[in-house]
Amino acid sequence: MIKSLLVMLLCVFCLPARAALDASLVRQLADEDSSRKVAAISALTQAADPDALRVFKAMDEDSLFLAGGKVVVIDGDQAFDAVTGVPLKAPDSPEPISVNNRIRGELANAMAALKLFDSDAGVRLASAQKLQSKAGPELAPLLARALEKESDARIKDLLTLAHAQANLANGDPGARLAAVKALAGSSSPSVKSLLLPLTDKSLESNTRVRYAAITAVKDIDGRMALTENLGRVFSGLSLGSILLLGALGLAITYGVMGIINMAHGELLMVGAYSAYAMQSLFRAYFPDAIDWYLPAAVPLAFFAAALVGVVMERTVIRWLYGRTLETLLATWGLSLILIQSARALFGAQNVEVANPAWMSGGIELMPNLTLPWNRIIIVGFALFVLSLVWVLMNRTRLGMFVRAVTQNRAMAGCVGVPTARIDTLAFALGAGIAGLGGLALSQISNVGPDMGQGYIVDAFMVVVLGGVGQLAGAVWAALGLGVFAKLLEGWAGAVIAKIVVLVVIIVFIQKRPQGLFALKGRFAE
Amino acid sequence: MRQSMTIRILSALDRKSWLALATFLALTLVAVPVLHLAVAPDSVFHVSAYAITLFGKIMCYAIVAVAMDLIWGYCGILSLGHGLFFALGGYAFGMYLMRQIGRDGSYQSDLPDFMVFLDWKQLPWYWSGSDSLWWVALLVIVFPALVAFVFGYFAFRSRIKGVYFSIITQALTYAAMLLFFRNETGFGGNNGFTDFKRILGYSITSPNTRLVLFGLSALMLALTLIFARWLVASKFGRVLTAIRDAESRVMFIGYNPLWYKLFIWTLSAVLCAIAGALYVPQVGIINPSEMSTANSIEIAIWVAVGGRGTLIGPIIGAFAVNLAKSWFTVSFPEYWLFFLGLLFIVVTLMLPHGLVGLWKTLRQSRGARA
């Protein structure tokens, strides 16, 4: 450790270093023949002397020259001896050493390999990552040596992989077998493509190696399928969160008032347009803080949708209590009016709602599994809204009243619960949650006047599946439906998946007509 | 004492209704053809081809409305899936019309154009025999009936009712729409079936063919009305109304509502399918948007506007709403949805018995004053 540190220092200050580099090899770098140059690079790399890095770097930057039979590094008006690093008098007519693309590639690999011996773990890690899937057989001994010295577990893993890759073309079947076995633990598609030639009889003569390669490819396939399925489960969860935000409000309104609100999808639309309005506002007045329009839109989306909900409840729905089928038609009429109003206000085309910068990108969990930030945030947001609703329903006076009215309207009225006011408030709450759902939706799908129509059938399915007025049922139904739909989509395509889901729900209703979490006892019909 | 069939059918309607029906048939089967063919086009009394298509179309809608009323108005089951049965009938008959194009399509092939376009080599098995009118006529009736029966059996058996049933039918129709939108399912995808040329060898655009289709629609509407009248006046109809008003009581008395509901549901679906089959040759196109949620709910509003639980109401409603629609969408296209939305709200809030109910109340209050 101390030794390599010293070497580093020597390098940095360009003090006369030990004459460790082989002078003849350095001279060979200036050879006319490219192959001999490559051979020299490879030989210098094998020595694993960090000093070679300096020469390679100079060569890569075209500042390596041949002057009077000596290889010199010329940096501006200073010159150094390439072998020792000793400053020299600037030569008169230095002859540049040509570097073609092939050599540049070799140099890059060689430099990466040499950096494996760097004292900084970060540099070593970067270099080990760079060598993944690029390690040629000539690097094998070097990698083996680096592996021996390495103490950091993560770098060690990477090096093992690189070493195994480099050994795949080794002449010794034993080395190849060991390499294949080491690679079998990977789950990256590039490793799989490296292993594939070894499963071919005409390319790999050794039976044991071939069989090992075949098993390894199978293992990797299995793991890749697993990560793929994990990815699907995750996108299913995020779809489920959207469904949940849509269905939560519906579950409350249907549970409390026994009302099917066909305009619920349009309340989602109101929320999404609130995001659009807030974005336009920020663009016009606070362009510097544009990334923060989304948090600012949260209260707007909630209250705008809640306001629309209150108006709907006060003007139309309250006159229709107890007539559910008629409510269905009346709210459908309301939804038509809302859609047409959105067209009149914002135009018939979809509007553009941009993701804030902090929502783009994602977390890379595995080589082929990336979780996008916007989906993660939506799942988190759904959880947040869910816990808020839970607290509201179970820990506040309003929630208690709402539950009381859901269970027994007449009795609740008798003991003094203002049922009409609770209806309005519950409807406003349901509508507001739908608005929040629309806000989340605006981040992952198109925002347009009839965007709500596509979600309403799904939201109803969640309510039907979960059981009426059951928050827990809605949660399980939404997440289950989301994950199930996405997993099906993986092997059957989106449309077939949708149809299968609907058929499954219809069959499910046969068994449990009141949903997953049916009310028992006296509340059951 | 058992009455003979003729008497029973005759007694289904009273004298005034028979007279009204005879006038209707005389108008549609005699007056309109004469006014269309014999009167000069510039005369005030000339009935244009546009009007014939429009009214022919609306009569098909009226059949659907009566079918919807049978299940909703008389049995209390609101279906949001009648668009599906309408479209199934339409698609079955549309395939016959596609086959009638023969080699006159743009690809000059025996197969329908969209199949050639998708590079299909032969007709899928479920469309075999679709070049015969009789087979297709059977298909129009049997297939929707089968779908309705199977779906209804499972739904009614587990006593799914009220809004649950409405939503499940809506989901079913939605799923079917997605299926029909696919190119590989053999229903022409997005565009559906169109560009029809002839029917039974006659040109589909000729005035005579139009008049025959118009007359058939009128006849079918009249037959539907008589049959529905007879049905709801029978003992069967009374059990239906009883199920609508108090299903559990009907069960306790010893009836099994399942078969009553299932019969009226399947019948309603078949009537829809027949209407769809009559609709397609007159309009000249059938595509998956017929199965959209909006279309099925609009059927319910025709019935609600006219008056549920009466048989003339749905017909009045279908005519009123659709005439308003064709006027609005030409004159004020951007206000049609506002109007329709308001119609939904006003009818449910203020006119629970529809126009027929309004008419009755007005007459009663006038009678009270006199």
pLDDT digits (tens, 9 = 90+) for B318-367: 999 999 999 998 888 888 889 999 998 988 888 888 888 888 888 888 87
The tens digit of pLDDT for each residue in A326-360 reads 888 898 899 999 999 999 999 888 888 888 888 77
Q: pLDDT-derived band of residue A468, with 50, 70 and 90 as boundaries?
A: low
> Using CA atoms in the order A312, A313, A319, A324, what is the torsion angle rounded to 10 degrees?
90
The tens digit of pLDDT for each residue in A393-439 reads 889 998 899 888 888 888 999 999 898 898 899 899 999 999 999 99
Tokens read off for A237: 């969860």
Residue A372 is inside which H or E element, if any?
strand A369-372
Above 90 in pLDDT, residue B62? yes
Q: How many other C-beta atoms are found inside a 10 Å radius of the C-beta of residue B52? A: 21
Q: Which residue of A has its CA nearest to B335?
A: A340
Among A32-36, A261-265, A466-470, name the most confident range.
Answer: A261-265
The tens digit of pLDDT for each residue in A95-136 reads 777 778 888 877 877 777 777 777 777 777 777 777 776 666
Does B334 contact A316 at a Cβ distance shorter than 8 Å? Answer: no
**pLDDT score of A4:** 58
**pLDDT score of A269:** 93
Does B348 contact A495 at a Cβ distance shorter than 8 Å? Answer: no
**pLDDT score of A514:** 63
Separation in Å, CA of A344 to nearest CA in chain B: 8
Which member of B154, B167, B170 has the closest CB to residue A510?
A: B154
Strands A78-81 and B202-203: unpaired
C-alpha to C-alpha distances, B119 to A217, A479, B114, B186, B236, nearest whole angstrom: 37, 40, 9, 12, 51
Q: How far apart are the first and last CA of chain B?
A: 43
For residue A339, list chain B residues with Cβ-Cβ distance below 8 A. Answer: 337
- What per-residue string of b and e applies to A91-102 under the rule 16 or more CB within 10 Å gives b? eeebeebebeee
Question: Is residue A164 within 8 Å of A137, Cβ to Cβ?
Answer: no
Burial degree of A157 (CB within 10 A; 0-12, 13-18, 19+): middle
Tokens read off for B312: 């003339």
The tens digit of pLDDT for each residue in A507-518 reads 777 677 666 555
3-class secondary-structure state, position A80: strand
A339 touching B (Cβ < 8 Å): yes
Strands A95-96 and A87-88: unpaired
Q: Closest Cα partner for A294 from A205, A359, A232?
A: A359
The stretch A272-278 carries a mean pLDDT of 93
All residues at 6 or more sequence positions from A119 whose CB lies less than 8 Å from its CB, including other chains = A1, A4, A5, A8
Which member of B164, B293, B341 has the closest CB to residue A464?
A: B164
Range of lowest pLDDT (A260-269, A501-510, B72-81): A501-510
Q: How far apart are the first and last CA of chain A?
A: 78
Above 60 in pLDDT, residue A448? yes
Q: Which residue of B has its CA nearest to A499?
A: B175
Q: Closest Cα partner for B11 from B224, B311, B233?
A: B233
Separation in Å, CA of B348 to nearest CA in chain A: 6
Does B174 contact A506 at a Cβ distance shorter than 8 Å? Answer: no
A472 touching B (Cβ < 8 Å): no
A260 touching B (Cβ < 8 Å): yes
B309: alpha, beta or left? (left if phi > 0; alpha if psi -120 to 50): left
Above 70 in pLDDT, residue A18? no
Which member of A260, A333, A502 has the closest CB to residue B345?
A: A333
**pLDDT score of A459:** 79
Does B340 contact A333 at a Cβ distance shorter than 8 Å? Answer: yes
Q: pLDDT-derived band of residue B86, with 50, 70 and 90 as boundaries?
A: very high
Which member of B159, B300, B341 has the closest CB to residue A513?
A: B159
For residue B169, list chain A residues with Cβ-Cβ distance below 8 A. Answer: none
C-alpha to C-alpha distances, A330 to A394, B304, B313, B334, nearest whole angstrom: 31, 11, 19, 20
The stretch B264-292 carries a mean pLDDT of 92
Separation in Å, CA of B37 to nearest CA in chain A: 41
A316 touching B (Cβ < 8 Å): yes
Owner of token pair 């990256």:
A188
Separation in Å, CA of A238 to nearest CA in chain B: 22
> Which residue in A324, A326, A327, A341 has the most chain B C-beta atoms within 10 A of its own C-beta, making it the best mutation to test that interface?
A326
The stretch A483-503 carries a mean pLDDT of 80
The tens digit of pLDDT for each residue in A154-168 reads 777 777 777 777 777
Q: Greater confidence, A298 or A43?
A: A298
Which member of B160, B334, B340 has the closest CB to residue A336?
A: B340
CA triplet B183, B140, B56: central angle to 5 degrees? 95
Tokens read off for A467: 């059981």
Among A127-131, A250-254, A300-304, B165-169, name the most confident range.
Answer: A300-304
**pLDDT score of A516:** 56
A322 touching B (Cβ < 8 Å): no
d(CA B354, CA B301): 10
The tens digit of pLDDT for each residue in B18-50 reads 888 888 888 888 888 888 888 877 777 788 888
Owner of token pair 């007279």:
B19
What integer best gives the mean pLDDT of chain A?
A: 80
Does B168 contact A316 at a Cβ distance shorter than 8 Å? Answer: no
Above 80 in pLDDT, residue B243? yes
Which member of B293, B304, B338 has the closest CB to residue A329?
A: B304
- B interface with A, Cβ–Cβ < 8 A, is 78, 151, 154-155, 157-160, 162-164, 166-168, 170-172, 174-175, 178-179, 181-182, 293, 297, 300-301, 304, 334, 337-338, 340-345, 347-349, 352
d(CA B215, CA B25): 8
- Tell if the pTM clears 0.80, that is, is over it: no
Above 70 in pLDDT, residue A2? no
Q: Greater confidence, B89 or B112?
A: B89
A321 touching B (Cβ < 8 Å): no
The stretch B248-274 carries a mean pLDDT of 93
> Which residue in A308, A499, A508, A510 has the most chain B C-beta atoms within 10 A of its own C-beta, making it the best mutation to test that interface?
A499
Q: Which residue of A has its CA nearest to B157?
A: A510
Owner of token pair 């057989």:
A137
Q: How many other C-beta atoms are found inside a 10 Å radius of the C-beta of residue B50? A: 9
